[in-house]
Amino acid sequence: MLWIVHQAFPTSGEIPLKLELRGITKRFGDLVANDHIDITVEPGEVHALLGENGAGKSTLMNQLYGLLQPDEGQIVVNDEPQVFRSPRDAIASGIGMVHQHFMLVPVFTVAENIALGAEETRGGPLGWLDRRRARRDVIETSKKFGLPVDPDALIEDLPVGAQQRVEIVKALTRDVDLLILDEPTAVLTPQETDELLAVMRSLTEMGKSIVFITHKLKEVKKIADRITVVRRGKIVGTASPDTSEDELAALMVGRAVSLEVAKGPADPGRAVLQVSGLVVDDDRGIRAVDGVDLEVRAGEVLGIAGVQGNGQTELVEAVMGLREVRAGTVELDGEGLAGMSTKKILRSGVGYVPEDRSHDGVVKEFSVAENLVLDMYDREPFGNAFRLDVAKVAGNAKERVEQFDIRTQSAASAVGTLSGGNQQKVVIAREMSRPLRLFIASQPTRGVDVGSIEFIHGQIIHERDQGTAVLVVSSELDEVVGLADRIAVMYRGRILAVVSPDTPREEIGLLMAGITGGNEEKK
């Protein structure tokens, strides 16, 4: 599925936009979120803003988009200083933004969403909504920029990648010349990411400029014309796309970071988890896992690779007792898990890191200490069926915060105030701080900064080396290849093949797309 790019379309009549940020400073209390930031975005370039979570990238862009006002400094558009009091002002100056979390109404159609906020009416401001014109505008813009969207589809029926396209079209219909994309690839599959990068390329060819916020090094190298690296609210360097990933990571984190997972050879023992003939349905009652057999041995990491939405989520949830098993068996050291409560499964020595951290992993309003005992609160030493030992819970938190390097003001702070990486460390610390037979991690480093990724990967390998059976599910192929001792590729609810991590990437990539053949090693 490739984008149709209409390069032939005339770009005349559009004034290219040059943006300068001069000495932008933003403080929140004592914290300096942006410290005298100077950036120039030339017309027609992709300018990447690279930095860890919490480095101040989003704060900077929110000022550029009029959501926040800078304490000091100037925003200069085409050599004229501007003051943006609201996104309306920013859009009027030709600046549009696509947020990390989409701002779309799920029950509206694509055309309605795009018209929202700039509705055309017939017969004065209180007249009828001009739906026909809204539809026409959408079709026109989508043709002009080669962004195919169906104006009549409901947002809730669209996959995430298509929703993002709608957001981009929405920005483009406002006639913007500079587009801010805030972590646009965080929610996308590898294919959707490639498609997005192609769109970005074609937009710049038409004279639009793009500010691309991310912490993913590969994408930056692929698409950016210039790279500005931000750390702790300051610009720590600019780089060209030729800079190596290691160098960029070091700039971003402030120290040398190893992007490879350091690990020795595995020493697999008995089969701990045995799944056979597993059949599971998704929330809509559609078959998601369709006869999966797999086995995870003590002291090895089995990685499940696959494009998201091929049944990985349902497979793991069924193992954890969170989803009904339709057919087949799940056994932990020979003991059947099907029908057991999640609490019992967790307590029989299974650690579980869910894929959606903020939805399933942590209670954001709870303190770090409370989150660290979320599944052990009614067990010695933290309490019993009636009582909670607050002192023990706090003591445990102190230990874990140190051991897992959780960066928080205090163990009593709400988890919601922590960065994504540190929230994930809370989940990992919780699940790893009891004797385990099996450790299951879904997307263990999604939305986590480079420094924390290194740490989390190290912890997973450490758990393996202690003889725990480890199951890692990730839609990032790099991660699976780096961590796993064996890789199971999942496609449409089935395991297509189990391969060694030395298998060429292209081959695994083909398997992920459902194309079998070649020399697969059946297990």
Partner 1 sequence: MTAEATKETREKEPVEREAFLNVFLRNLWSSNSVTITVLSIVLAVIIGAVLIVVSDSTVLEKFTYFTARPADALDASWTLISSAYSDLLKGALGDPEAFNAWFSGTGTWQDAFAPLSETLTYAAPLVFTGLSVSLAFRGGLFNIGAQGQAVLGCIAAGVAGFTFGLPIVLNLLVALIAGALGGALWGFLPGLLKARTGAHEVITTIMLNYTAGLFLAWLVIQKGIQQPGRTDAISKVVADSAQLPSFGGVLRVNLGIVLAVLVTAGVAWLLNRSAFGFELRAVGANPHAAKTAGISVAKTYTLLMAVAGGLAGLGGATQVLGTAYALTPSVAGNIGFDGLLVALLGRNRPWGTLLAALLFGVLRAGGNRMQSFTGISLELVNVLQALIVIFIAAPALVKAIFQLRAARTTAKG
By the criterion CB under 8 A, which residues form the site for partner 1?
A: 28-29, 31, 33-34, 54-60, 233, 320, 322, 341-347, 352, 354, 359-366, 370, 374-375, 377-378, 383-388, 390, 410, 412, 417
Q: Which is nearer to partner 1, 67 or 160 (CB)?
A: 67
Structure tokens at 468: 């725990």
Start-to-end Cα distance in the chain: 32
DSSP type of residue 23: E
User: What SS3 class is residue 429?
Assistant: helix
Measured at the CA of 133, the angle between CA 127 and CA 138, to 5 degrees, comes to 135
Question: Residue 492: which of 197, 290, 214 has the closest Cα?
Answer: 290
Least Cβ distance, residue 521 to partner 1 (angstroms): 34
CA atoms of 267 and 467, how far apart (whole Å): 8
Least Cβ distance, residue 294 to partner 1 (angstroms): 22
Q: Which backbone phi and psi does 149 adopt, to 5 degrees?
A: -135, 145
CA atoms of 89 and 97, how far apart (whole Å): 12
Structure tokens at 473: 């599910």
Least Cβ distance, residue 331 to partner 1 (angstroms): 19
User: Is the CB of residue 485 less than 8 Å from the CB of residue 497?
Assistant: no
Q: Which is nearer to partner 1, 34 or 193 (CB)?
A: 34
Q: Which is nearer to partner 1, 345 or 490 (CB)?
A: 345
Least Cβ distance, residue 475 to partner 1 (angstroms): 19
User: Is the CB of residue 274 less than 8 Å from the CB of residue 460?
Assistant: no
Question: Residue 285: which of 324, 319, 258 has the closest Cα?
Answer: 324
Least Cβ distance, residue 408 to partner 1 (angstroms): 12
CA atoms of 269 and 297, how far apart (whole Å): 6
Least Cβ distance, residue 68 to partner 1 (angstroms): 10
Least Cβ distance, residue 352 to partner 1 (angstroms): 7
Q: Which is nearer to partner 1, 181 or 346 (CB)?
A: 346
CA atoms of 16 and 351, how far apart (whole Å): 54
CA atoms of 486 and 499, how far apart (whole Å): 6
Q: Which is nearer to partner 1, 280 or 345 (CB)?
A: 345
Least Cβ distance, residue 56 to partner 1 (angstroms): 4
Where does residue 79 fall: left (phi above 0), alpha (psi -120 to 50 degrees), or beta otherwise? left
Length of the chain: 523
User: Is the CB of residue 338 less than 8 Å from the CB of residue 330?
Assistant: yes
Q: Which is nearer to partner 1, 136 or 347 (CB)?
A: 347
CA atoms of 348 and 332, how far apart (whole Å): 9
Least Cβ distance, residue 447 to partner 1 (angstroms): 14
CA atoms of 149 and 164, how far apart (whole Å): 10
Q: Which is nearer to partner 1, 84 or 145 (CB)?
A: 84
Report the Cα 97 to chain-centroid distance in Å: 18
Q: Which is nearer to partner 1, 193 or 228 (CB)?
A: 228
Q: Which residue has 């609201």 as its token pair?
A: 86
Least Cβ distance, residue 387 to partner 1 (angstroms): 6
Q: Which is nearer to partner 1, 97 or 346 (CB)?
A: 346
Structure tokens at 233: 């609210």
Q: Which residue has 């996308």 as its token pair?
A: 188
Question: What stretch of H or E contains 121?
Answer: strand 121-122
Q: Which is nearer to partner 1, 327 or 391 (CB)?
A: 391
Other C-beta atoms lying within 10 Å of the C-beta of residue 489? 29
Q: Which is nearer to partner 1, 203 or 345 (CB)?
A: 345
Pairing of strands 438-442, 178-182: unpaired
Q: Which is nearer to partner 1, 60 or 481 (CB)?
A: 60
User: Is the CB of residue 373 less than 8 Å from the CB of residue 382?
Assistant: yes
Q: Which is nearer to partner 1, 286 or 385 (CB)?
A: 385
Other C-beta atoms lying within 10 Å of the C-beta of residue 435? 8
Least Cβ distance, residue 386 to partner 1 (angstroms): 6
Q: Which backbone phi and psi does 435 adopt, to 5 degrees?
A: -60, 130
Least Cβ distance, residue 448 to partner 1 (angstroms): 16
Least Cβ distance, residue 184 to partner 1 (angstroms): 17
